[in-house]
Amino acid sequence: MNRKILLGALIPTVGWLLIHAIFLIEHQIELEFAFSDAALFAIPLGMAAWIGGITLRYYRPDWKRIPAILIWTATEALIIIYLYDYLAENLGQMDWRINEQLSQGNTLLFLLVYFVLNIFTLFVWIWLNNLEKEVIDKRSLETEKLAKESELEGLKLQLQPHFLFNSLNSVNALLHVNPEEASRMVLLLSDFFRSSLRKSQDTLITLNEELETVQLYLQIEEIRFSSRLLVEIKLQEYCNELKLPALILQPIIENAIKHGLYGTTEKVVIQIEAVKSMNQLILRVSNPYTREDSTISKGTGFGLKSVNRRLYLIYARNDLMKLEKNQEKFVVQLTLPQ
């Protein structure tokens, strides 16, 4: 940081040195004397700019203290003028000093130096404020990212126990009537949670990877509901490699099974469709629905709300999930940007 301020102070130093020397040369002053005189003035100017920049780094007053800054730069300009006069007189250079070539020499030099120092101070002030703002914004974004990741993980963890408890109840029921199916369900549960834990580490996965976990989940549900549950999966070509949030389909399908099988002993068909439209993956999960289904009419429950929340945290949009109801079906549609 200090090195950058030093490099910045070299800009007015070198600029003044060249302009000062060129002015004297045009007034018939020899090259050596012109650059010597210019150096006597430019070096104190550069030092004043550097000191002002370092001061602003550690003490940056607000805009209300502008008068104090203007007084400070005026003081620096006066010191530079008097230091220049002192050095020039002691080095015997009175006959070719720049203020001897100017009408109202010291007054004009003071105004020019005052202007240069204020411009440099303003530049450093804006630069340091922007750097500070970038650091604050970066820290804020990192904090927000950590908060989102934490909330996403929390939502995933809340979903899994709900399904696990239902499955364990089914295992308990099967132990006495069909031990083999109970054993198979336990193995499927193990595979399902192993797959879920592995894929939950990624924010986005392919549809093909998501469907692998869904298939494990459906096999467990098919054991629970026997021949009553039928699942149809229809995928449009080229959809398999499209991206979606990990473990986003399971709570939607669980909701469809729960409400599709509610209040009926007949076979129920759950449909899962995936199509690509423009630069979007559109997923539709539908289940049978009747208006007499009081559970549906009361709300969608935690599962769908958590899905909507996860979509917002990942895509920063609230319009990616739509619910549709008609006399026969309840449909959840996800529109996921690619």
Q: Average pLDDT in the 35-41 region?
A: 88
pLDDT of 207-249, one tens digit each?
Answer: 999 999 899 889 888 888 877 889 999 999 889 999 999 889 9
Position 157 pLDDT exceeds 80: no
Number of Cβ within 10 Å of residue 58's Cβ equals: 6
Position 138 pLDDT exceeds 80: yes
Strand, helix or coil for residue 174: helix
pLDDT band at 79 (very low <50, low <70, confident <90, very high): very high
Residue 238: the pLDDT is 87
Residue 227: the pLDDT is 79
Most confident of 87-91, 148-152, 327-331: 327-331
Burial 224-251 (b: 16+ CB within 10 A, else e): bbeeebebeeebeeebeebbbbbbbbbb
Position 162 pLDDT exceeds 70: no
Q: Average pLDDT in the 188-213 region?
A: 82
pLDDT of 262-293, one tens digit each?
Answer: 667 788 899 999 999 889 999 999 998 766 55
Q: Average pLDDT in the 163-177 region?
A: 80
Position 300 pLDDT exceeds 70: no
Extents of the domains making up the chain: 2-138, 178-337
d(CA 75, CA 72): 5
pTM score, two decimals? 0.57
- Strand segments (E) across 162-246: 204-206, 229-235, 243-245
Residue 101: the pLDDT is 64
Q: Average pLDDT in the 7-24 region?
A: 90
Residue 296: the pLDDT is 46
d(CA 119, CA 94): 30
State the Cα angle at 243 between 142 and 308, rounded to 5°.
65
Q: Which CATH number fits domain 178-337: 3.20.20.20, 3.30.365.10, 3.40.640.10, 3.30.565.10?
A: 3.30.565.10
Residue 92: the pLDDT is 56
β-pairing, 204-206 vs 243-245, is: antiparallel
Residues 6+ apart with CB under 8 A from 335: 280, 281, 282, 319, 320, 321, 322
Backbone phi and psi for residue 330, each to the nearest 5 degrees, phi listed first: -115, 125
